[in-house]
Structure 1
Amino acid sequence: MATYAIGDLQGCFTAFQRLIELIRFDPVQDKLWLVGDIVNRGPDSLSLLRYIKQAGDVILMVLGNHDLHLLMVAAGKAKNHPSDTIQPILDAPDRDELLHWLRHQKLFHAEGQYAMVHAGLLPSWSVSQAEQLAREVESALQQDNFQELLALMYGNDPDHWQNEWTDHRRLRVIINAMTRMRVCTLEGKMNFTYKGNIQSIPFGYFPWFSIPHRLSQNSTVICGHWSALGLYLTDNLIALDTGCVWGGQLTAIRLEDRKVFQLPCAR
């Protein structure tokens, strides 16, 4: 029995099929963890979404910003971008069933020594607090009035966290940190515009995972989202977005021994 974590898929269903063949994935005894951004930009988000849904408990995923964008567009709270490739999902006969299932996926997952999130965790958040905060967002997404959350989800402000917030700012910061953050200041102020490599980060900002004394550092965080960072492994970080949708690679890691599997992707 093995658990494999896989980086951002973004609709690259063929690459995903090739990768699970490469790792000799056995759904009877193995499990897959997916770091989010299941859909969008790639050529076959619909088939990928159907496959993951039908796999049941064998596959565990967390939501990424592109997955949330799909929900936003479907609810009429955002418009398709020119680069979006989610229309086949919106036109599918099983659209409502797929979107309902997607709304009920996790934003954050913690298990044993590992914690999985799409983008990152603010330095002031422990794993246990992050799990509680994620449950707040997940609960709101799963309610019948979930569109109220979607209507207030987008926005770069506020760019920091305050424990005492109880209005829409609270959920927005949780979502932005967990699905969009790459860098922040020592105090946890986020910069959502920077997408470059680790060597060119603006002055005063740092990779979220390198902030000294961040409260989640005793767990190994598995994440994606930052394709310019690429595969990045430390004792307490497994970053897996290697830019498959951009013609990079699709990456899997076997958690039991940290063996890495990669295959090239067509742009």
Structure 2
Amino acid sequence: MAIYLVGDVQGCYSELKALLKRVNFDRDCDILYLAGDLVARGPSSLETLRFVKALGDSAKVVLGNHDLHLLAVYAGIKKAKAADKLDKLLTSPDADELINWLAAQPLIQKIPDKKKSAYMSHAGISPQWLLKDALEQAQLIHQKLISTERNQWLALMYGEKPNSWQASLTEEERFRYSVNALTRMRYCFMDGSLEFHHKNTPEETPEHLVPWFTLSKTIDKTPWVFGHWASLMGHSSHSNIYPLDTGCVWGSHLTLLRWGDKKVFIEQAHQ
């Protein structure tokens, strides 16, 4: 059995299939972890969702910000952008089934490892959290998204405040902060509060902002896999993190990591 982890697919279905073919992925014995943002901006969001769903227990997904936005669009809370190329998915005959499946996916996955436990979320782990905080909040979000009140909570997730866990006093505020920390976070202020407007590399970013992983104490002991941050291009200054978003949808490449030996496979964008 092999464990593979892949970065943001974002509808780049042909690249995903090419990578899995190259490593001879066998759904009967291998496991594929997907770092969120299965959909949006790429040409084949519908095919991607159908394929990953069909993998059953051989696929372990975490939700990303684009996945959550799709849920909100399908619920009529937000309007789809033409650039997201979601029309085919939104009007497909199996859209209900696919959306309900997507909504049932967690925000954090634990990755089996003989040496020490590792985890995956779309954006990382807030430096204001301990591991137990992150797991607890991810589970609370999951319960809300599989409940009959899903749409009410999806409507409440938009916004950038509060950007500090200590300032998240109400259930609604804790929900919004947790969604942002797990799916939108890149940079933080020095006190660990979240900043949402910078996406470039650390070398190109103002000095008063720092990558979340430079402040997190959790990752000193716990390896963390994430996507979301394409400008990192798979590189980081911390040996215990694995950034996997390498901007395939923007014309770069899709990255697949074999967890056992940490070998990296890439597939250049097909379009």
> Hey, what does 2:256 align to over in structure 1?
252
Whether contact under 8 Å (2:219, 2:240) holds in the other structure is: no
> Hey, what does 1:226 align to over in structure 2?
229
> Hey, what does 1:3 align to over in structure 2?
3
Question: Residue type matched to 1:188 in 2?
Answer: G
Aligned-residue offset at 1:164: 6.3
| Percentage of identical aligned residues | 40
1:88 equivalent to 2:91? Answer no
SS of the residue 1:252 aligns to: strand
> Hey, what does 1:176 align to over in structure 2?
180
SS of the residue 1:232 aligns to: coil
1:193 equivalent to 2:205? Answer no
Match of 1:154 among 158, 179, 202: 158
1:122 equivalent to 2:116? Answer no
Whether contact under 8 Å (1:183, 1:206) holds in the other structure is: yes
SS of the residue 1:36 aligns to: coil
Quote the Cα distance in structure 1 between the aligned partners of 2:219 and 2:239.
Answer: 13
> Hey, what does 1:214 align to over in structure 2?
217
Quote the Cα distance in structure 1 between the aligned partners of 2:17 and 2:62.
Answer: 19
Structure 1 residues 6-85: aligned runs within 5 Å: 6-85=6-85
Q: Deviations over 1:131-168 (max 9, x none)?
A: 11100100000101111101111111111112862321
Quote the Cα distance in structure 1 between the aligned partners of 2:168 and 2:156.
Answer: 18
RMSD of aligned residue pairs (Cα, Å): 1.4
Specify which structure has the higher proportion of helix. 2
Q: Which runs of 5+ in 1 are unaligned?
A: none
Question: Residue type matched to 2:257 in 1?
Answer: I
Alignment TM-score, normalising by the size of structure 1: 0.96
Q: Deviations over 1:34-60 (max 9, x none)?
A: 000000100010011011111100000
Moved more, 25-34 or 80-89: 80-89
Aligned-residue offset at 1:266: 2.9
> Hey, what does 1:108 align to over in structure 2?
108
Quote the Cα distance in structure 2 between the aligned partners of 1:217 and 1:126.
Answer: 12
> Hey, what does 1:97 align to over in structure 2?
97
Quote the Cα distance in structure 2 between the aligned partners of 1:109 and 1:166.
Answer: 26
Question: Residue type matched to 2:251 in 1?
Answer: G
Aligned residues: 266
